[in-house]
Amino acid sequence: MSEQSEPSERLTAELLEIALEAASHAGAFLRDGRPEDLGVAATKSSAIDVVTEMDIAAEKLITDLLAGRRPDDGLLGEEGASVEGSSGVEWVIDPIDGTVNYLYGLPSWAISIAARKDGETLVGVVHAPMRGETFRAVKGQGAFLNDRPARVRPASELGLALVGTGFGYLTERKVHQAEVAHRLIPEVRDIRRGGSAAIDLCDVAAGRLDAYYERGLNPWDYAAGDLIAREAGALTGGRPGEPLSPALAIAAPPGLFERLQARLDELGAWHD
């Protein structure tokens, strides 16, 4: 092993260990701390306030652990964590991806933690406590679901593809997204809307979805899931020639990816 590669492997192993620990602690806190009657009160503003409080508390739990282990790293979190850092490593955190699912008591919510260095994602962890699943990936080392290797399904024809997607919170965006889905659904096997982008990307990695696309994600929604999907054999991106971004995120195995990307571009899935 070269002297140059050894520190990098040590670094990624350390980052993975910390991400797994932080996700596990946050998952236990969110699972065990969720009031049993939260779903019943889901229409009340007080219930939404509880979810916001849990979201903020989970992010603080994660960022406190990260700061204790690696105080020089940067932080970017959904609930406002923003630290520049001086080490070149930045953590990208979503303490609850799928907050509406969490609010209603649906199991598809997850903690998403990614570590990137100099803009390149090195480690991704997506922990879904209610599904008993932890997805993880280290750049160049493959993807895993719990302790089993994760692999995308072989590319299907577009007409046989089970495609995941999601919808934004803004009414105008949802209307256009519904129009895109309306035109796409006769051309694919079916469409699924799970409510957590991180889990959808991981379900592509695990072969449970053939493909996934969505407009309007934030970096903390997809940072970990993007790496996990790619390490499981998927291609990811946005419009043709562009990387996955808030404008458009697509993940699918080679062969299907290109066909879906071209069709979504024709349908205008990249704009509101």
Binding residues: 78, 94, 96-97, 221
In one-letter notation, the amino acid at residue 255 is G
CA dihedral 189→249→18→149, nearest 10 degrees, is 30
Q: Tell me, letter by letter, the H, E, C secondary structure of the chain.
A: CCCCHHHHHHHHHHHHHHHHHHHHHHHHHHHHHCCCCCCCCCCCHHHHHHHHHHHHHHHHHHHHHHHHHCCCCEEEECCCCEECCCCCEEEEEEEEECHHHHHHCCCCCEEEEEEEECCEEEEEEEEEHHHCEEEEEECCCCEEECCEEECCCCCCCHHHCEEEECCCCCHHHHHHHHHHHHHHHHHCCEEEECCCHHHHHHHHHCCCCCEEEECCCCHHHHHHHHHHHHHCCCEEECCCCCCCECCEEEEECCCHHHHHHHHHHHHCCCCC
Contact in structure between 250 and 212 (CB atoms under 8 Å): yes
The whole-angstrom separation of Cα 136 and Cα 121 is 12
- Residue 194 CA, chain-centre distance (Å), reads 12
